[in-house]
Amino acid sequence: MTPVDQIVTSNLYVSTFTGKQFYPLAPTPDQIDIEDIAHGLAYQCRFNGQTRYFYSVAQHSLIVADLVAQDLRMAALLHDAAEAYMGDMVKPLKQLFPLFSEIESKVMSVVGLRYGIGNFDDPAIKRADLIALAMEKRDLMPNSSEPWDSLKGIVASPTRITPMSPQEAKAAFLKAFLAV
């Protein structure tokens, strides 16, 4: 039994935009809704908001999806879907809380079940995620001048990021979802 399995889950839920109750310690496919994912990701700022402009996880996901082949677009678009329910924890903190990563992984498995996706960890998606990260560092974090180890050997796309409002990002995310 894992530490997650030992926690009592009866009252631990997240109220979603569509009015569902999402149980992060006991997620099921029927709790997952694309409207909740799009809304949650569109209203969350990457990097704990430590960016020049508001920049959402939804817009990040759109960029990642644009950087992969057509057959991986749905997985790339939804690669951070758990963050709609759990928040976007910055990598240094996530490394300090392995239980969070375990819960996040379980949620992503259920997202995969809901949408028939099993390849969130595809190397092409991981690479696209890093290219997007390099673009974000360049365009949105000008005062972060130190090199990031995770970006060693990664070249940012020449396309510049123009931040979207949460409403624009949500609409674009839902449009991309329907187009895949």
Structure confidence by residue, pLDDT tens digits, 150-173? 999 999 999 999 999 999 999 999
Q: What percent of the chain lies above the pLDDT cut of 70?
A: 94
pLDDT for 142 equals 87
DSSP 143: T
Instruction: State pTM to two decimals.
Output: 0.92
Predicted local confidence at residue 11, as pLDDT: 79
pLDDT per position as a tens digit, 78-125:
999 999 999 988 888 888 998 999 999 999 999 999 999 989 999 999
Closest residue by Cα to residue 162 from 139, 142, 141: 139
Give me the chain's average pLDDT, please: 94
Q: What residues contact residue 62 under an 8 Å CB cut-off, 6+ apart?
A: 77, 169, 172, 173, 176
- Give the pLDDT confidence of 54-84 residue by residue, as tens digits: 999 999 999 999 999 999 999 999 999 999 9
- Binned at pLDDT 50, 70 and 90, residue 136 comes out as very high
Q: Indicate whether 179 pLDDT > 90.
A: yes
As a whole number of angstroms, the distance between CA 93 and CA 110 comes to: 23
Say yes or no to pLDDT of 5 above 70.
no
Q: Going by C-beta distance under 8 Å and a sequence separation of 6 or more, which residues neighbour residue 177?
A: 34, 38, 74, 77
The answer on pLDDT for 137 being more than 60 is yes
Sorted by where each starts, the structural domains of the chain and their CATH numbers stand as 26-179 (1.10.3210.10)
